[in-house]
Structure 1
Amino acid sequence: MTAPSTAPAPPSRGGRWIQQWDPEDETFWKETGEKVAKRNLLFSVLSEHIGFSIWTMWSVLVLFMGPEYGLTPADKFLLTSMVTLVGAVVRVPYTFAVAIFGGRNWTIISAGLLLIPTVAAFAVIKPGTSFNTFLLVGLLAGIGGGNFASSMTNINAFFPLRKKGWALGLNAGGGNIGVPVIQLVALAIIGASGGPRVLLGIYIPFIVVAAVLAALFMNNIENVKNDTGAAKDAVKDGHTWIMSFLYIGTFGSFIGYSFAFGQVLTNQFGRTPLEAAYVTFIGPLLGSLIRPVGGALADKYGGAKITLYNYVGMGVATAVLIAASMQKSLGLFTVAFVVLFVLSGLGNGSTFKMIPGIFQTKALAKGLEGEAAAAYGRRLSGASMGLIGAVGALGGVGINLAFRQSFLSYGSGTGAFVAFLAFYAACFVVTWAVYLRRSAAKGQATTASEAKPQLSYAEV
């Protein structure tokens, strides 16, 4: 086997396929790997950013849809729920697409596909269009949610384990920030008395630019292959499902609240679309910006610890929201909601950073060392990320459906927030029980041997 330090250098910016890639080799990383990885990260973020904007565009399009559209609040929550659902489901095939087509090639394709829901929405968004038509076109927008999964899988392969928290956090945060950006653009358009077609028309050329830049500056990694065995192993591994559950609490909250915040303000507090748009972007913006911080904190202190304390904060913020909702205090409600957004973004970074660390630790527990352990960790973490991302996004569906039912039953979102508080409590218990309690366990030798890796991946 050729030593990593003597591996051929990656091709120039005009290249497409990298034949050999070993980011864990420090010499390779410093001489050539880091530069190439950061360049691919930059353009991956751009494409994912626009994907998030298109996925969540209906969160702002519904603000343009006044009484003349004939839609009830329940209709709008159902519409955004279905958009979120498609975005969650397509994350699974998008994860495998990277190995089939190559990271660069799939970024080009997935960016180009965003033209379909954008042009379709441009064509149908007008009074008189049926709800079923809006629902169908909204479902098309869900493909924008898949860009996250393929982008994260691709970037996961470019960076060494010690840099994954930062890289994955930056990649995801840069993508997440597409949510507040499209909301800010909508704010400007609503403020200028523009219509929804103006918003859609602005994004069409940016989609084309993202695809072209990916073609010019990104790379495919030759040895990134779909491993059906790894996928099966990931599905069978309990940690995949535990992390999926925890990711529902963090990313599911972020994307669900991103769709619902404006509707809650207009339906529960009587805000006009313009008044709602003035504040709806703040939470997603701060939540996106802080996601890399969550990853960096997880790198330093351990993902499980940051995630645990983060769920405490999310529970407190939700309790404040319940009180503010019952007291009809708009100011307190808005502040608490923004804080909840920030904490969901922080938790996004810490939970996703845990994934490669968990599987790396399992490799060490199996007796693997060096590159063999790193390869095992990459194999299982890459296979699990798409599934975890998909299940996590389903939390956004649950949030919008919970709001829909809460408004139908009580005329406010209070009932939904009570349910969210209970869920965050469950996430806290699971994080502690699985990833922190065992690290302090003492007793039989077998228990002690299991405790060591638990502590290790809690602190990566």
Structure 2
Amino acid sequence: MTTAVPGSIEQDRRSLTLRGRWIDDWRPEDPIFWERRGSRIARRNLIFSIYSEHIGFSIWTMWSVLVLFLGPQYGIDPAGKFLLTAVPALVGSVLRIPYTLAVARFGGRNWTIISASLLLIPSLLGAFLIRPGVSYPTLVLIAALAGVGGGNFASSMANINAYYPDRLKGWALGINAGGGNLGVAAVQLVGLFVLAVLGTASPGIVAGIYLPAIVLAALGSALYMDNLSHARNEKRAMRDVTREPHTWIMSLLYIGTFGSFIGFGFAFGQVLQVQFADTFDTPVKAAYLTFLGPLLGSLIRPVGGVLADRLGGARVTFVNFVAMAAGASVVLLASQHRSLPLYLVGFIALFVFSGIGNGSTYKMIPAIFRARCGVHLTAGGAADPHDRTAEHEARRLSGALIGVAGAIGAFGGVLVNLAFRQSFLAYRTADAAYIAFIAFYALCFVITWFVYLRPSPGRLEGV
């Protein structure tokens, strides 16, 4: 994760130094600097970062909508459609680490302009090439290019992390992440509008609607965002954090939370159409419901962070995975009994609990490294001023782990769609996929208990 190097509070209260759109003097931990200049600049950058990330999420998950347009005239079976939603999830997960590092290399403003502009490529191709007669490899290529939107989350989080003081990072990153995640629900509402008004004949219009929004994101970034010259990639942080066992444990847990959220966001509409074909005999009927899950999961994400602050991240994550296993069990039961109301209750519960889990697992990461590095907290919850070296090391490793876990967690979206694809190929039903999800959530809550909650001499306190 990119960090900003703060100056001393006692140093001169010199004016903000600007070179073009580069800021050379950035001291968010200095209360006078923050009050006079910093908070206003950080807020402005946050607003345009959220907007750009929001559009990126929409482009990334656009194929969750576009597959609903691919009727019999396209000649694609359900397995082929699940592959079309797995491909952008895969590309987006791979791009998250280089996008994280790009902020310090090119500047937050500059990279936001570049990353927003790249969204034009899949949108233009989707707007003009998706029509009956298009080859399946062409659709796979367009879907893969949509994966660039998945990287925007990582670069946006790295950029905003550098702007805010430690006491406000949780709030700023939570707002940034939630605003981005809402892009999943937004693109599905756009798809619903197009399906309801124009039918399935014009899938390219969904992509075309986003073209002016993408241009506005790039222009807004160019006109109103800034680069921080003191933002940097911590030396060897990525290498060091990969040697830490907790990196792989937390990445596994994040597959269960964020991977579920993004994977179900991609797959929900397709599953409804295939699982309840008699009820959802037209794509527009499925589209009326698909946005609800991502919307609720995005809005409730901050609740997971708040609960983790009060109850402990590991406790909330443990209970949350138990609830996700129960939700998946309800979906399995509903599928076997062909109960649509029960099915929707179970699936919406999965979205809601995956959103809560996103917040609680994110809160666990800094707590783990504060405990590992021996940082002592004051009564108010802040790091002891005497532990500055340990606190810096904890932040260095936490930032790197957030980048790694974000990439691996996004790969969970690939696994969800591949599980559905294989289940329909082998059994013509999604029941095998639901059983796999239940087993995985059970593994996650067992690991959470065993590593972070089980009474033992080596247990990390405060996680």
C-alpha displacement of 1:384 = 2.2
CA contact (8 A) 1:10 1:33 kept: no
Answering whether residue 180 of structure 2 is matched by residue 160 of structure 1, we say no
Deviates more, 1:356-365 or 1:99-108: 356-365
CA distance in 2, matches of 1:14, 1:42: 22
Q: Alignment partner for residue 455 of structure 1, among 438, 454, 461?
A: 461
Equivalent residue for 1:203?
210
Tell me the secondary structure at the aligned position of residue 186 of structure 1. helix
Answering whether residue 308 of structure 2 is matched by residue 298 of structure 1, we say yes
Tell me the secondary structure at the aligned position of residue 6 of structure 1. coil
CA distance in 2, matches of 1:2, 1:408: 59
C-alpha displacement of 1:151 = 1.0
Is the alpha carbon distance of 1:21 and 1:312 closer, same or farther for their aligned partners in structure 2, counting shifts above 3 Å? farther
CA contact (8 A) 1:249 1:423 kept: yes
Deviates more, 1:194-203 or 1:3-12: 3-12
Equivalent residue for 1:399?
416
Is the alpha carbon distance of 1:394 and 1:350 closer, same or farther for their aligned partners in structure 2, counting shifts above 3 Å? same
Equivalent residue for 1:363?
373
CA contact (8 A) 2:297 2:351 kept: yes
Unaligned runs of 5+ in 1: none
Q: Alignment partner for residue 75 of structure 2, among 52, 70, 79?
A: 70
C-alpha displacement of 1:114 = 0.4
Equivalent residue for 1:215?
222
CA distance in 1, matches of 2:427, 2:85: 20
Report the AA paired with residue 207 of structure 1. I
Q: Alignment partner for residue 59 of structure 1, among 44, 47, 64?
A: 64
Answering whether residue 132 of structure 2 is matched by residue 127 of structure 1, we say yes
Is the alpha carbon distance of 1:9 and 1:215 closer, same or farther for their aligned partners in structure 2, counting shifts above 3 Å? farther
Answering whether residue 330 of structure 2 is matched by residue 316 of structure 1, we say no
C-alpha displacement of 1:218 = 1.9
Is the alpha carbon distance of 1:229 and 1:12 closer, same or farther for their aligned partners in structure 2, counting shifts above 3 Å? closer
Report the AA paired with residue 169 of structure 1. G
Count residues with an aligned counterpart: 446
CA contact (8 A) 1:318 1:420 kept: yes
Report the AA paired with residue 456 of structure 2. A
Q: Alignment partner for residue 175 of structure 1, among 180, 198, 203?
A: 180
TM-score normalised per structure 2: 0.91
Deviations 1:370-426 (A, max 9, x none): 443343233222222221111001111111000011111221111101100111111
CA contact (8 A) 2:7 2:30 kept: no
CA distance in 2, matches of 1:106, 1:36: 18
RMSD of the alignment, in Å?
2.2
Q: Alignment partner for residue 414 of structure 1, among 428, 431, 441?
A: 431
Equivalent residue for 2:104?
99
CA contact (8 A) 1:252 1:393 kept: yes
Tell me the secondary structure at the aligned position of residue 78 of structure 1. helix
Aligned-pair identity in percent equals 57
Unaligned runs of 5+ in 2: 1-5, 377-383
CA contact (8 A) 2:13 2:33 kept: no
Answering whether residue 189 of structure 2 is matched by residue 189 of structure 1, we say no
Deviates more, 1:288-297 or 1:113-122: 288-297
Equivalent residue for 2:243?
236
Tell me the secondary structure at the aligned position of residue 455 of structure 1. coil
Is the alpha carbon distance of 1:208 and 1:14 closer, same or farther for their aligned partners in structure 2, counting shifts above 3 Å? farther
Equivalent residue for 1:255?
262
CA distance in 1, matches of 2:299, 2:456: 36
Tell me the secondary structure at the aligned position of residue 305 of structure 1. helix
Answering whether residue 8 of structure 2 is matched by residue 3 of structure 1, we say yes
CA distance in 1, matches of 2:256, 2:424: 22
Is the alpha carbon distance of 1:154 and 1:404 closer, same or farther for their aligned partners in structure 2, counting shifts above 3 Å? same
Tell me the secondary structure at the aligned position of residue 192 of structure 1. helix
Equivalent residue for 1:327?
337
Is the alpha carbon distance of 1:337 and 1:10 closer, same or farther for their aligned partners in structure 2, counting shifts above 3 Å? farther
TM-score normalised per structure 1: 0.91
C-alpha displacement of 1:160 = 3.4
Deviates more, 1:3-12 or 1:74-83: 3-12
